Structure 1
């Protein structure tokens, strides 16, 4: 018995759609894997409401997703909304509107559930092993951290320190000033105190970057080395050498918008936020003395898929 599923991850920056067919053995065949830079948090995240233009873009994108879902005759649709919607004063109205205009029921998930689903997605990419890892998923609104191995979650928490929030706070000039880099790190030191405590207790040795920013860093790194294979097929699991990360990180700090946009592998939708995200990655590597970076192309929606497969 085959079943078609559509999984939608409505992030603060990007909306993802995965349409897949699952057979009775749990094998799945993906028909559609797409991401759209909706920027739901733009112009509103710091005021705690979805701004009108962002609202419009989101509805339009979900109408497009609906068309694709109908074209493929999908039986089950799961749509998850995260940080921006769960914190927005007009989040409930938005969810009602989405249902009215697209017939898509949106689940607003809390940070702990988001972290858990990210873990299952990352685990299915095959990047975890017996060693204790720290998963970091940088969204536009929140950043999820999970301390785990391939068997268990030891600790998890979501922090409202996503790249759009950091950008609104610290990206006042371009290239970013050294003072603002220092200010962002001081802010993270304060906000991530529960993580610092958990790291001292569980001692992770590997940083596992989940999707988004980390995918882009790997794309840039591969193209710098003349490797174009990622452009055709993105691997589920990758490794990013520490020195390669720092080479790209320094470049991101020194260049302005146009110069960053010209970096092969850069996505326009990440061109500014990646600066703040990269500073956060640097902070985590330094603060917690992590020497290895692995990258999972899978995240939340693949986690939902894993749970759907487990319940079949």
Structure 2
């Protein structure tokens, strides 16, 4: 007896759909996976409402997701909305519209719950061990930090400091000027005070990056080395050598939009936001003296799946 599940992660920047089949033994077979650059936060994130155009793009995408889910005959559908929807003044209306048009019941999850699910996803990827790690998941709206190892979460917090928010605030010219980089870092220094205190207590030595930005950094890194394997399938866990990361980071800061877009492995939907996200990665590595970067392509939706399988 197999069961087909559909998982939707409605991020501020990207909507993800995963359709998977589970057998009696709890074995998973991935049937379908896609991501769509919906940009739900565009034109509205900084004034706290979902813009009409963004809402229309989201509904169109979700109608298409519904069609795919029905085609695969998935009976269980879990849809999670995060930072943009939970903070939007018109979030409730948006959720009602989705239900009306697609019959998909969206769960709006708070930051602490989002961090917990990301932890489960990363643990599922097999990237954690007994060493204390700092998981960082950079979304468009929020960034989750989890201090943990493979057995336990020691501390977790979600900060409304996602790449779209940082972009609206600091991306004033392209290539990004050094004053803007310094301003972003000063802002992070101030806003990430709770993280700084937690790091002093738990002393993580590894950075584990999950989801979008890190997938793209790994894609760029692999293609620089002539490795095309990630074009076929992205492994759940990977290593991003520090020296490689810094070579890419310097390139992102130096180049303008069109030059970044020409980098093999770059995605158009991430071409500007990745600059702000990479400054955040650099800040965290330097500030907390982390010695290694591991990456997990599993995040929120895989965390939901993991939790469902446990039940």
TM-score by length of 1: 0.99
Q: CA deviation at 1:215?
A: 0.4
Q: CA deviation at 1:291?
A: 1.1
After superposition, residues 260-271 of structure 1 pair within 5 angstroms as 260-271=260-271
CA distance, structure 1, for counterparts of residue 51 and residue 31 of structure 2:
32
After superposition, residues 22-171 of structure 1 pair within 5 angstroms as 22-171=22-171
Equivalent residue number for residue 193 of structure 1: 193
- State the Cα deviation string for residues 70-109 of structure 1 (Å, max 9, x = none): 0011110000000000000000000000000000000000
SS in 2 for 1:34: strand
CA distance, structure 1, for counterparts of residue 32 and residue 189 of structure 2:
39
Q: CA deviation at 1:194?
A: 0.2
Q: CA deviation at 1:9?
A: 0.2
After superposition, residues 186-225 of structure 1 pair within 5 angstroms as 186-225=186-225
- State the Cα deviation string for residues 247-295 of structure 1 (Å, max 9, x = none): 0000000000000000000000000000000000000000000010000
Segments of structure 2 that go 5 or more residues without pairing to the other structure are none
Q: CA deviation at 1:25?
A: 1.1
Query: 22-31 or 269-278: which moved more?
Result: 22-31
CA distance, structure 2, for counterparts of residue 211 and residue 138 of structure 1:
7
SS in 2 for 1:13: coil
User: Number of paired residues?
Assistant: 311
CA distance, structure 1, for counterparts of residue 170 and residue 30 of structure 2:
39
SS in 2 for 1:6: strand
SS in 2 for 1:49: coil
CA distance, structure 1, for counterparts of residue 197 and residue 64 of structure 2:
44
CA distance, structure 2, for counterparts of residue 37 and residue 81 of structure 1:
15
CA distance, structure 2, for counterparts of residue 145 and residue 80 of structure 1:
19
SS in 2 for 1:4: strand
Equivalent residue number for residue 299 of structure 2: 299
SS in 1 for 2:45: coil
Q: CA deviation at 1:216?
A: 0.2
CA distance, structure 2, for counterparts of residue 162 and residue 249 of structure 1:
18
- State the Cα deviation string for residues 111-153 of structure 1 (Å, max 9, x = none): 0000000000000101000000000000000000000000000
Q: Does 1:181 align with 2:215?
A: no
CA distance, structure 2, for counterparts of residue 281 and residue 82 of structure 1:
21
- State the Cα deviation string for residues 170-208 of structure 1 (Å, max 9, x = none): 000000000000000000000000000000000001000
Equivalent residue number for residue 232 of structure 1: 232
Segments of structure 1 that go 5 or more residues without pairing to the other structure are none
SS in 2 for 1:7: strand
Structure 1 segments (4+ residues) deviating >6 Å? none
TM-score by length of 2: 1.00
CA distance, structure 2, for counterparts of residue 39 and residue 207 of structure 1:
27
Q: CA deviation at 1:61?
A: 0.2
Q: CA deviation at 1:233?
A: 1.2
SS in 2 for 1:38: coil
- State the Cα deviation string for residues 208-232 of structure 1 (Å, max 9, x = none): 0001100000000000000001101
SS in 2 for 1:263: coil
CA distance, structure 1, for counterparts of residue 151 and residue 68 of structure 2:
35
